[in-house]
Amino acid sequence: MKIKLMEMIAPSFYSVHHDVRQKKHTYYWLKGGRGSTKSSFVSIEIVIGMMSDPDANAVILRKVKETLRESVYEQMLWAIDQLGVSHLWRESLSPLSITYVPTGQKIIFKGADKPKKVKSSKFRRGYAKYIWYEEVDEFGGVREIRTINQTLVRGGPDIQVFYTYNPPESQNNWVNVEVEQQKFRDDTLVHSSTYLDVPKEWLGEQFIQDAEFLKKHNYKKYEHEYLGVVTGTGAEVFNNVTLRRITDEEIARFDKIYRGLDFGFAADPLHYTENYYDKARRRLFIFSEIHQVGLKNREAVEKIKKFNPMNDWITADSSDPRTISEFNDLGLRIRGAKKGPGSVEHGIKWLQDLNEIIIDPERCPNTAREFTSYEIERDAHGNLKGTYPDKDNHSIDATRYSLEDEMKGKPKIKTFKGGL
- Write out the catalytic residue numbers: 135
Residues 6 or more apart in contact with residue 265 via CB below 8 angstroms: none
CA distances for 20 relative to 25, 160, 254, angstroms: 7, 8, 41
Q: How far apart are CA 286 and CA 358, in angstroms?
A: 6
Torsion angle, alpha carbons of 198, 203, 207, 208, to 10: 50
- Cβ-count burial 230-248 (b if 16+ within 10 Å, e if not): bbebeebbbebbebeebee
Amino acid (1-letter code) at residue 50 = M
DSSP bridge partners of 91: 98
Most distant CA pair in the chain, distance: 81
* C-alpha 343 chain-centroid distance: 30
Phi-psi region of 282 (alpha: psi -120 to 50; beta: other; left: phi over 0): left
| Euclidean distance between CA atoms 32 and 167, whole angstroms | 7
Distance from C-alpha of 195 to C-alpha of 33, rounded to nearest angstrom: 7
**HSE value, Cβ hemisphere, 13 Å, CA-based, for 334:** 28
Give which of 411, 6, 399, 50 is closest to 201, Cα–Cα: 6
Q: Distance from CA of residue 325 to its chain's centroid?
A: 37
CA 276, CA 247: separation in Å to the nearest integer? 13
95 preceded by a cis bond (ω within 30 of 0):
yes
Q: Is the dihedral of CA 317, 318, 320, 324 positive or negative?
A: positive
Q: Are 263 and 316 in contact (CB under 8 A)?
A: yes
Report in angstroms the alpha-carbon separations of 173 from 106, 163, 245: 34, 15, 21
Question: Tell me, what DSSP letter sits at residue 183?
Answer: T
What are residue 20's DSSP bridge partners? none
